[in-house]
Amino acid sequence: RAARRGSPVALFELGRGYLLGQAPLPFHPDTGVRYLKLSAAAGFRAASHLLVESLALDALVSHGLINELVRCASEGLGDAQIKLGIWLATDTRTRAEGLDWLRRAERAGNADARVALAHVLFEDTTASAGTECVRLLQAAAASGNTSAWVPLARAALANEDDDGFWHALRRACQAVRPDDRELATLIVEALLRSDGLRRRALQLPAEHLRCALTLRSDQRDAFASFLLGRMLAGFDEPLRLQCRMPVARKLGRAVTLLQSAADHGVGEALLVLADIYRLRPNLPYASRHARYYLERAVQANVPAARARLGALRLVQARCSEDLADAIELLQPQARQGDMRALSLLCTLT
C-alpha cells in the first residue's frame, strides 16, 4: 500500500525482496530492479547502492543504470568504481578514465579493485604495466583475495617466471573450482612448458588434472587428449588411482583420445596405444593392434619406435624372415647406443 503511494522506503523494501528472493516474496530480479529504480528515482540512495552492488555490469548496462553507476562511484562506493572503471576501460577512448577509477578504488584498499586493475593492465605490453600488474596481484593475494591467483599465474607465465607460475598455479588449485576454464588452460600450459613443470603439475589434485585435460581435449587440444588418454590407460599415477570410471569404459575412452591425438600429430600417442595392447594380451587382436601402432610410429619417425617394433617382432617371430626383419630394426638402434636393442641382439648370438 505504501509502495503504491510512492514511498521510496516501501519501494526499496519491495525491490530488495524480489531482487534477493527474501520471503515471503519470490525471487524475481526484473521486478526487483523495477521497484528499486523507482525508489532510486525518488532520491533513496540505498536503492541505488543495492542495484549497483547486486547487479553484474552487463545487467546494469541493459537496465540503463549507467548514470546511477557513475553517481555511486562519485560517492565513493568501491563496487561502483570497479564496475565503472572496467566499463570505461573496454573502450580505447575512455580507457584512461577507466584506469583512473580503478586506481581510485585500489588506493582505498579494495582488494577486488587490485585484481580488476591488473586484468586491464595485463592487456598492455609495456614493461611498467606488467610490473604494476604483478605488484597489484601479489598485494591482492597477500590480503586474502583468492581470485588473484589465476591471473597471477597467467602473469608469471607471460613473464617466463616458472617458479612464480608454479607457486601461483598451486595456490589457484586450492582456491578455484576444478572446472574453471582459465585454470584448465594454465594447467595444460604447465604440462607443456618443460619436463620440470610437467613433473610438478602431475602433483596437482587429480580432479583438477582430469577436469583440465577433459576441457582442453573437448576443445580438440591434441596434447591434452594425449595426456588424458595416457592417464586413463594407467600410465600416469595421479588419474590411475582416482578415476572411478569402469575399467573397460576407461580403456575405451583412453584409446579414443589417443587415436585422436595421434591423428593430430602427437606421435608418442602411437607408442602408448601400442603399449595398451602389448601389455594386455587378453584384449581382442592385441598383438595385431600393438604391431600396427608401432609400425605407424616408425613411419612417423617417433623416437624409440624402431627398437620397440624390433623387440615385438623378435618375440612374435615364427620364421627366419621375421627374425631378419627384427634384426634389421634393432641394429641401427643398437649402433646409436640403445641398450635395450643391444641386449636383445646379444640374446641372439
Average pLDDT over residues 7-13: 86
pLDDT of residue 167: 93
Q: Do the beta carbons of residue 149 and residue 138 sit within 8 Å?
A: no
Give the integer Cα–Cα distance in Å for 291 and 260. 19
**What average pLDDT score do residues 279-289 get?**
87
The CB density around residue 6, as the number of other CB atoms within 10 Å, is 11
Phi, psi of 198, rounded to the nearest 5 degrees: -65, -40
- Share in percent of the chain as helix, strand, coil (round to 5): 75, 0, 25
**Exposed, middle or buried by CB within 10 Å (0-12, 13-18, 19+), for 313?**
buried
At residue 173, what are phi and psi to the nearest 5 degrees? -65, -25
In the prediction, which pLDDT does 214 show?
85
Please report the pLDDT score of residue 87 as a whole number.
Answer: 94
> Exposure of 34 by Cβ count < 10 A (0-12 exposed, 13-18 middle, 19+ buried)?
middle
Sequence-separated (6 or more) residues with CB below 8 Å from residue 212: 178, 183, 184, 185, 187, 188, 224
- What is the pLDDT confidence band of residue 125, given thresholds at 50, 70 and 90? low
Residue-level pLDDT at 216: 82
What is the pLDDT at residue 330? Answer: 72
Mean pLDDT, residues 180-189: 89
pLDDT at 326 over 90: no
Confidence (pLDDT) at 7? 81
Distance CA 205, CA 188 (A): 13
pLDDT exceeds cutoff 50 at 241: no
pLDDT category at 235 given cuts 50, 70, 90 is confident
Mean pLDDT of 140-163: 87
Average pLDDT over all residues of the chain: 84
CA distances in angstroms from 20 to 25, 42, 62, 255, listed in the order given = 9, 21, 19, 48
Report the pLDDT value the prediction gives residue 243, as an integer from 0 to 100.
54
Phi, psi of 56 (to 5 degrees): -70, 160
Q: Is the pLDDT of residue 242 over 80?
A: no
Q: What are the grid coordinates assigned to 13, written together?
A: 523494501
Whether 64 shows a pLDDT value over 60: the answer reads yes
Compute the average pLDDT of residues 66-87: 94
In this structure, are residues 257 and 226 in contact, taking their beta carbons and an 8 Å threshold?
Answer: yes
69 pLDDT higher than 90:
yes
* pLDDT(263) > 70: yes
* Residue 4: per-residue pLDDT: 65
Question: pLDDT-derived band of residue 65, with 50, 70 and 90 as boundaries?
Answer: very high
Q: Cα 99 to chain center, whole Å?
A: 27
Average pLDDT over residues 79-107: 92
What pLDDT is stored for residue 313 in this prediction? 76
Res 9 pLDDT > 90: no
Q: Give the separation between CA 283 and CA 144, rounded to whole angstroms.
A: 52
How far is residue 254's CA from residue 274's CA, in Å, rounded to a whole number? 12
Cα(326)–Cα(331) distance, rounded to whole angstroms? 9
Percent of the chain at pLDDT > 70 equals 91
- Half-sphere exposure of residue 15: CA atoms within 13 angstroms, side-chain side: 26
